């Protein structure tokens, strides 16, 4: 029995080490999060980190202190996605590239170089909720993140009913919409997102969520109506960029589609299907060199994709011209 326990313990330790090593390195990430309107530091912002090279999230989620500061040590170099979230603020999702330069690691965000990453978050307009209510919402969101979606729905339903007289409680409909999106019940998700939009008409995440839901329902025209409410800078998720590109491609607006596919592969270097769609869009634009380059990259990244044969035939046909 003791021997079995020791083997089990070794397995657990080795698994943890394997996971931590996947995203480990010499990079030290530091940042500060400020209120966009007041410039004051925001305490309690969760910073989720995802490594593109490792294709894995980091096993530690930093939280900002009373000065709005956070840090994460021993990260690997390369491109990372950052997800900043705090109840009461519009979430921020960004991509950052850490490179070795001049004998130290520095990060590049939107083309600018930083040693300390400065992020501003917009407070959601409307009546503030008490800390006790915020804590209940965070507990419900933790269930959603933990893939306990149906339990999360029940928790949010109770919160909405319990505090229905509070005007600010409308934001909970965002989380309800996220739950139904997880369940792929997109019409129900739209219903809740739009309830929240009545109170927060300029909330960027809500606008994106409605657009993505219509896109998943293959209702291209309605999806584009919502996506057009946002600027390019508002969209920092490569999957969303890909979905928008698909919608423009289906509408035969190839010049706009190619821009979204290019941004998707810039942010997610191993995004095979985005390279495929980029290559096919270049085919539609009769840009042979660009299409071959994109399709070859797709074939390298996704050799088992059902689209591989089509890409291979196109590359061979253009190569024989």
- In the prediction, which pLDDT does 186 show? 93
Q: Decide if 310 is inside a domain.
A: yes
Does 136 score more than 60 pLDDT?
yes
Class of residue 224 by CB neighbours under 10 A (exposed 0-12, middle 13-18, buried 19+): buried
Percent of the chain with pLDDT over 70: 78
Eight-state DSSP code of residue 59: S
Virtual CA dihedral for 45, 174, 183, 181, nearest 10 degrees?
Answer: -90
Q: Decide if 304 is inside a domain.
A: yes
- How many domains does the chain divide into? 3
Q: Decide if 3 is inside a domain.
A: no
Say whether both 104 and 138 belong to one domain. Answer: no
Percent of the chain with pLDDT over 90: 17
Which has more confidence, 319 or 313? 313
In CATH, what number is assigned to the domain containing residue 311?
Answer: 1.25.40.10
Say whether both 30 and 78 belong to one domain. Answer: yes
Cα distance between residue 52 and residue 263, in whole Å: 15
- In the prediction, which pLDDT does 276 show? 93
- Secondary structure element (H or E) that encloses residue 181, with its range: helix 172-182
Q: Is the dihedral of CA 131, 135, 141, 146 positive or negative?
A: positive
- In the prediction, which pLDDT does 113 show? 66
- In the prediction, which pLDDT does 253 show? 86
Say whether both 130 and 117 belong to one domain. Answer: no
User: What are φ and ψ of residue 208, in 5° steps?
Assistant: -60, -40
Cα distance between residue 140 and residue 152, in whole Å: 5
Using one digit for the tens of pLDDT, what is the confidence trace for 49-63? 777 666 656 667 788
Q: Which of 186, 203, 220 is the last residue of a domain?
A: 203
Say whether both 107 and 132 belong to one domain. Answer: no
CA 39 to chain centre: 25
Using one digit for the tens of pLDDT, what is the confidence trace for 165-184? 777 788 888 888 989 998 99
- In the prediction, which pLDDT does 54 show? 61
- In the prediction, which pLDDT does 19 show? 39
Q: Decide if 225 is inside a domain.
A: no
Mean pLDDT, the chain, rounded, equals 79
End-to-end CA distance of the chain: 69
SS3 call for 80: strand
Q: How far is CA 163 from CA 139, 168, 178, in A?
A: 16, 9, 20
Say whether both 166 and 236 belong to one domain. Answer: no
Using one digit for the tens of pLDDT, what is the confidence trace for 220-231? 888 888 888 887
| 172-182 helix and 149-162 helix, angle to the nearest 10 degrees | 160
Using one digit for the tens of pLDDT, what is the confidence trace for 271-286? 889 999 999 999 999 9
When pLDDT is averaged across residues 251-278 and rounded to a whole number, the result is 88
Q: Decide if 249 is inside a domain.
A: yes
Which has more confidence, 137 or 3? 137
Q: Nearest-CA neighbor of 59 among 50, 68, 46, 69?
A: 50
Q: Decide if 12 is inside a domain.
A: no
Q: Which of 121, 149, 175 is the last residue of a domain?
A: 121
Q: Cβ distance 52 to 80 under 8 Å?
A: yes
The angle at the Cα of 153, spanning 183 to 242, to the nearest 5 degrees, equals 35
Say whether both 292 and 321 belong to one domain. Answer: yes
- Secondary structure element (H or E) that encloses residue 157, with its range: helix 149-162
Say whether both 24 and 111 belong to one domain. Answer: yes
In CATH, what number is assigned to the domain containing residue 29?
Answer: 2.60.40.10
Say whether both 22 and 114 belong to one domain. Answer: yes
Q: Decide if 283 is inside a domain.
A: yes
pTM, two decimal places: 0.58
- In the prediction, which pLDDT does 180 show? 92
- In the prediction, which pLDDT does 77 show? 64
Say whether both 239 and 321 belong to one domain. Answer: yes
When pLDDT is averaged across residues 5-17 and rounded to a whole number, the result is 43
When pLDDT is averaged across residues 137-156 and rounded to a whole number, the result is 84
Q: Which of 90, 121, 152 is the last residue of a domain?
A: 121
When pLDDT is averaged across residues 64-83 and rounded to a whole number, the result is 79
Q: Whole domain around residue 169: which residue ranges?
A: 126-203
Cα distance between residue 83 and residue 55, in whole Å: 15
Phi-psi region of 115 (alpha: psi -120 to 50; beta: other; left: phi over 0): alpha
pLDDT bracket for residue 13 (50, 70, 90): very low
Eight-state DSSP code of residue 112: E
Q: Which two tokens stand for residue 253?
A: 């607006």
| 186-199 helix and 204-216 helix, angle to the nearest 10 degrees | 160
- In the prediction, which pLDDT does 125 show? 57
Say whether both 96 and 130 belong to one domain. Answer: no
Q: Decide if 5 is inside a domain.
A: no
Say whether both 115 and 27 belong to one domain. Answer: yes
Say whether both 117 and 133 belong to one domain. Answer: no
Does 8 score more than 70 pLDDT?
no
Q: How many CB atoms lie within 10 A of CB 263?
A: 20
Q: Cβ distance 33 to 94 under 8 Å?
A: no
């Amino acid at each position: 029995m003791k021997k079995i326990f020791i083997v089990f313990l070794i397995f657990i330790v080795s698994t943890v080490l394997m996971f931590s090593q996947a995203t480990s390195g010499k990079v030290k990430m530091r940042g500060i999060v400020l209120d966009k309107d007041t410039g004051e530091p925001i305490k309690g912002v969760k910073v989720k980190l995802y490594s593109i090279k490792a294709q894995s999230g980091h096993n530690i989620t930093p939280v900002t202190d009373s000065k709005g500061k956070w840090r994460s040590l021993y990260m690997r170099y390369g491109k990372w996605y950052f997800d900043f979230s705090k109840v009461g603020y519009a979430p921020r999702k960004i991509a950052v590239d850490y490179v070795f330069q001049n004998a130290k690691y520095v990060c590049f965000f939107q083309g600018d170089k930083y040693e300390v990453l400065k992020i501003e978050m917009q407070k959601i307009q409307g009546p503030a909720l008490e800390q006790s209510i915020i804590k209940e919402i965070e507990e419900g969101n933790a269930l959603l993140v933990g893939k306990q979606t149906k339990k999360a729905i029940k928790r949010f339903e109770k919160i909405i009913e319990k505090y229905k007289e509070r005007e600010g409680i409308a934001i909970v409909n965002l989380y309800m919409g996220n739950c139904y999106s997880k369940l792929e019940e997109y019409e129900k998700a739209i219903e809740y997102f739009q309830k929240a939009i009545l109170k927060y008409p300029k909330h960027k995440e809500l606008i994106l969520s409605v657009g993505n839901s219509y896109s998943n329902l293959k209702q291209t025209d309605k999806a584009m109506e919502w996506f057009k409410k946002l600027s390019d800078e508002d969209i920092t998720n490569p999957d969303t960029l890909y979905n928008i590109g698909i919608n423009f491609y289906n509408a035969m607006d190839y010049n706009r589609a190619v821009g979204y596919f290019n941004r998707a592969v810039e942010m997610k270097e191993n995004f095979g299907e985005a390279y495929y769609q980029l290559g096919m869009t270049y085919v539609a634009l009769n840009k042979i060199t660009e299409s071959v380059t994109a399709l070859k990259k797709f074939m390298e990244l996704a050799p088992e994709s059902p689209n591989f044969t089509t890409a291979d035939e196109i590359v061979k046909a253009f190569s024989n011209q």
